[in-house]
Amino acid sequence: MTIRTMYALFLFILFTNPQAAAQDAPALKGFRGEFMGMFEHEAGKVVQLAGAVPDDKYSWRPAEGVRSISEVYMHVAGANILLPAMISGEKADFEALTAREKKVTDKKEVIAELTTSIENVKKLVLSMSDEDLEKSVTIPFIPMTTTARGILMMIMSHVSEHLGQSIAYARTNNIVPPWTAQSGGANE
């Protein structure tokens, strides 16, 4: 293996490793730092993919009764507002956020809402202390009681779930995810 190849491999690992990315988060250690690194990585891919999908594909859906591409992104954005509000105690209207999934369909507006929602999650995590992670939180529409940490885990799994769905939607429409195209077609 040449030095150039080793250096390229080192840079690839550094910039695709969520734990390395977490080290860039200001003063976040432990769970919050790990969360932030992984969340920024996964949510960043969602935004990249949303940008790669052509405007005219935002209304595409795999079957009747299944969310369209824009609805998936708006669903993620809504959850990134609703779930942090459960931790912070801020008011978030579940029905209004759900209704926005069908109302907001313009690519630029969808990406703007998605980006704003991601910043909302990051702002919450940056404002939390380790003790805040233990706060009890009730999710009335499930119904379920968990901790703030549990809500953050739900946010992470939700973003990852819909990233996978979005990759499948994109591939079905012959859209190559940007990070795959940059790596010459290697793994997702």
CATH topology of domain 71-177: Four Helix Bundle (Hemerythrin (Met), subunit A) (1.20.120)
For position 188, what pLDDT does the model report? 55
For position 187, what pLDDT does the model report? 54
The pLDDT tens digits for 52-107 are 999 999 999 999 999 999 999 999 999 999 999 999 999 999 999 999 999 999 99
Query: What Å distances lie between residue 158 and 3, 56, 164, CA to CA?
Result: 39, 25, 10
Between CA 78 and CA 95 the distance in angstroms is 10
pTM for this entry: 0.83
User: Which residue carries 């926005």 as its tokens?
Assistant: 100
For position 185, what pLDDT does the model report? 59
For position 11, what pLDDT does the model report? 40
Residues of the chain with confidence (pLDDT) below 50: 1-15, 18-25
Q: Which two tokens stand for residue 107?
A: 């690519």
Which value, in Å, is the radius of gyration of the alpha carbons in the chain? 18
Query: What Å distances lie between residue 118 and 2, 4, 23, 149, 174, CA to CA?
Result: 39, 35, 19, 17, 27
